[in-house]
Amino acid sequence: MDADGAARFRSLVADPESDPPLDEGALVIAMTANGSDVEAGLARLDELAGNALGFPDARTPAGLARVLFVEWGFAGNTGDYGDPRNSFLPDVIDRRLGLPITLSVLIIEVGRRIGVELHGVGMPGHFIVGVGHPSSGGEVATEFIDPFHAGVVLDRDACRARFQSHFGTQARFAPAMLAPTPARMILLRMVTNLQHTYAARRSPEARWAAQLRLAFPELPIEERQRTAEVLASVGATQDAAEVLDALAAQSAPANRDAFSRQAVAYRSRSN
């Protein structure tokens, strides 16, 4: 873990009312993981945006999607979906492979640089891009782009079909699932994905991903407790105990003792 990256990420998300820069936040996640250069990453996004302008229709959402996901071959990594590199924006640019969310960040940020207004849409089980500027009222767009599937353009009915292909035809779809996702929630989803990826592999790398997740002040108590369990599962029992100490300090008496007892249990495992 790069300590400077972790500190920079904590600073970016410290205010729960703020919406940090999406490009910087995504690149700082990669910096925390492997020390990659954030400013170099920003310059590469600038370069992609400049090169995209060589295509006559790049200033339209569908045209930009065609440039990135057809002409340049950025694609979803269906061969190794769980590869952590799919979550690191510099690696996605290098390898032209990524997750739905990182490919969405890519087109959103390239688009922003050339005046194409796009926003993230965190559907359950999938991540896509809405066309247009996200309104403060959270109104749902009428047109969407699916970066993981060659940048195909979707309407709301096609989004429903995507959802039901994942959860089953009986799953209830609500239009609110297509509401804009703020940048800070995109970053939270990115570090949550990494925590799950590393924890599934029993990798100690889950520790730094969990610490970035805990940096969000609005993360609910139950999610903090689950993150403590992840930390303990990869051997970071002292970190897990500290999370539970903090929960005990802010909890009602009915829960305080349970958190404190579990913290003691985690510390005993580190001795």
Using CB atoms within 10 Å of the CB of residue 10, give its burial: 0 to 12 exposed, 13 to 18 middle, 19+ buried: middle
pLDDT number for residue 43: 98
Q: At residue 60, what are phi and psi to the nearest 5 degrees?
A: -110, 150
Residue 73, Cα to own-chain centre: how many angstroms?
Answer: 22
Residue 271 has pLDDT above 80, yes or no: no
pLDDT number for residue 109: 98
pLDDT number for residue 134: 78
Look up residue 79 and give its DSSP letter.
Answer: S
153 strand-pairing partners: 145
Query: Among 6-20, 199-213, 245-259, which stretch is predicted with the lowest mean pLDDT?
Result: 245-259
Average pLDDT, the chain: 94
Residue 141 has pLDDT above 90, yes or no: no
Q: Following CA atoms 194, 199, 201, 203 in sequence, which dihedral angle do they give, to the nearest 10 degrees?
A: 90
Q: What confidence category does residue 135 fall into, taking pLDDT thresholds of 50, 70 and 90? A: low
Q: What confidence category does residue 270 fall into, taking pLDDT thresholds of 50, 70 and 90? A: low
Handedness of CA 232, 12, 33, 95 (dihedral sign): positive
pLDDT number for residue 7: 97
Q: Which of 89, 73, 79, 154 is nearest to 121 (CA)?
A: 154
| pLDDT tens digits, one per residue of 76-89 | 999 999 999 999 99
Q: How would DSSP label each residue in 201-240?
A: TT-TTHHHHHHHHHT-TT--HHHHHHHHHHHHHTT-HHHH
pLDDT number for residue 217: 95
In contact, 109 and 45? CB cutoff 8 Å: yes
Mean pLDDT calculated for residue range 176-195? 96
In contact, 216 and 19? CB cutoff 8 Å: no
- Cα–Cα distance between 154 and 33 in angstroms, integer? 34
Mean pLDDT calculated for residue range 54-82? 96
Q: At residue 64, what are phi and psi to the nearest 5 degrees?
A: -65, -40
Query: Among 145-154, 181-190, 248-257, which stretch is predicted with the lowest mean pLDDT?
Result: 248-257
Helices marked H in the chain: 3-13, 22-34, 38-52, 61-66, 89-95, 100-114, 156-167, 183-200, 206-214, 221-233, 237-250, 253-269
| pLDDT tens digits, one per residue of 26-60 | 999 999 999 999 999 999 999 999 999 999 999 99
Q: How would DSSP label each residue in 42-66?
A: HHHHHHHHHHHTTSTTTTSHHHHHH
